Every structure is written in structure tokens, then in C-alpha cells.
């Protein structure tokens, strides 16, 4: 499979497949394809289906296969931002934000990822349930806004506002830290908690989470109720 990512900040990934090669997608993200691409929809087992649902994706997966020769299929992002290609193998699983998975080669498996620490689970908000990509192959992940990468060494940490953690290596750990100081909590406008990610591993941060956009637009959307 060969691919090209085009059109940011409203990106699309165009995948060129050899005959018999397949791609999977979770949310009907196909935007165009050659006529010889055959679609099949399946749940892939009850456990996996409900795991995908709780991690923000559809119960069903669509599999597209090139029949009778080479084929082409394009998957579009659902929000202005960027699409990243990541290589997944058994030694390097990757954890991505809820609903971050766009499409992948058939050898990549998508499952639910819960935070191990109680604090992250109870107060994690958007980071509570994430998606884990394992198996083997190329996967495409959509990020909100622009992406910034950091490589954390063992024991090195980064404090991140809720919703801005887009992706991290599975070797990283994540916890939730309460904002210190009563005035900071009441008047700081940053919420009660921050996400703390500790290395070793790479993290990818996004500059504008969808929740931030929704909060910014809310006052304008409510003006019609006057």
C-alpha cells in the first residue's frame, strides 16, 4: 500500500492498493474510491465491537478490498486539523485519543485502552477512555488543529491541558494532577485537572481540541434563543 496525505487543514489520505490488499475504517470515512473497491461491513466479534463503541468509534468496521487489480481509496478527516501515518508493530503499540482512528491496513487491531491509575480514570475526562492500536501495519490517525511532537525520556513528564493529548507510545504512562491553589482553580479558567504524561516514549499534542472549539462557539450558537 502506498499513500499520500493532501489538503490540510481539511486533509484526506489517498491510499493506492495492489490487487487483493484491504483497508479498514471505523466511521464510514471513505470520501472517494475507484470502482473496483469492494466494501464489506462487519463487527469483528461482540467484545471487540463494544470495545470500539466505548472508545468513541462505531460498532461496525468497513473493509475495502481492491479486486481484479490495483485500486485507490481516500479517507477524509472529520474536523480541520491533520492526518498522521503511524507504523504499528507488536513491539510498538500506540495509544490515540478517543475517535482518533481514521483507517488502517487490515493487520492493525483497534481496542479500548483504560488508564491504569484510579485518578486518571475518575477525573481524566476526555483522556479516560482512549484507543489502542496494535498488531502490524500502517494506521492513519486524525488530529485536531496542528500537531506538536515531543520525545520524553524515562521519568521525564509533560503537563497537558485536557483534550490536547492526541497520541502517545504505549510505553508512556498517564495520570491526572489537580490544579494547585484555590484562586487558580476558581479564576484561572484552566479547569480542575491537568493530564500528566511520563516517558519513555513519544507524545503528540494537538493545538486545538474539538471540545475547545465547541466551548468557543457555544455563546454564539445560543444567540438564537433570545
Query: What are the tens digits of pLDDT across the range 195-219?
Result: 899 999 999 999 987 666 666 666 7
Residue 226 lies in a domain: no
Residue 86 lies in a domain: yes
Residue 225 lies in a domain: no
Residue 148 lies in a domain: yes
Which CATH number belongs to the domain containing residue 201 in this structure?
3.60.160.10
Residue 115 lies in a domain: yes
Domain span at residue 179?
2-220
Chunked mean pLDDT (size 10), the chain, 226 residues: 92 97 88 97 58 55 95 93 94 90 93 62 54 95 92 96 90 80 44 83 89 64 59
Which residues lie closer than 8 Å to 167 by C-beta, 6 or more apart? 84, 86, 94, 95, 96, 97, 100, 141, 143, 203, 204
The overall average pLDDT reported for the chain is 81
Cβ atoms of 138 and 86 within 8 Å: the answer is yes
Number of independent structural domains in the chain: 1
pLDDT tens string 137-167: 999 999 988 899 999 999 999 999 878 999 9
Amino acid at each position: 500500500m502506498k499513500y499520500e496525505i493532501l489538503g490540510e487543514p481539511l486533509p484526506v489520505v489517498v491510499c493506492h492498493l495492489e490487487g487483493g490488499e484491504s483497508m479498514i475504517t471505523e466511521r464510514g470515512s471513505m470520501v472517494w474510491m475507484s470502482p473496483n473497491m469492494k466494501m464489506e461491513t462487519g463487527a469483528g466479534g461482540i467484545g471487540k465491537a463494544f470495545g470500539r463503541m466505548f472508545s468513541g468509534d462505531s460498532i461496525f468496521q468497513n473493509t475495502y478490498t481492491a479486486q481484479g487489480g490495483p485500486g485507490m481509496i481516500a479517507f477524509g478527516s472529520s474536523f480541520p486539523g491533520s492526518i498522521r501515518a503511524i507504523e504499528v508493530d507488536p513491539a510498538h503499540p500506540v495509544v490515540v485519543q478517543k475517535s482518533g482512528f481514521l483507517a488502517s491496513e487490515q493487520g492493525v487491531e483497534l481496542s479500548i485502552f483504560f488508564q491504569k491509575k484510579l485518578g486518571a480514570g475518575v477525573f481524566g475526562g476526555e483522556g479516560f477512555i482512549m484507543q489502542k492500536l496494535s498488531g502490524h501495519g500502517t494506521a492513519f490517525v486524525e488530529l485536531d488543529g496542528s500537531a506538536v511532537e515531543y520525545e520524553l525520556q524515562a521519568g521525564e513528564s509533560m503537563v497537558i491541558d485536557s483534550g490536547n493529548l492526541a497520541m502517545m507510545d504505549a510505553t508512556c504512562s498517564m495520570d491526572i494532577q489537580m490544579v494547585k491553589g484555590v484562586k487558580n482553580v476558581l479564576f484561572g479558567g484552566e479547569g480542575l485537572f491537568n493530564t500528566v504524561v511520563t516517558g519513555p516514549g513519544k507524545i503528540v499534542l494537538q493545538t486545538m481540541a474539538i471540545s475547545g472549539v465547541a466551548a468557543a462557539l457555544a455563546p454564539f450558537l445560543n444567540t438564537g434563543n433570545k
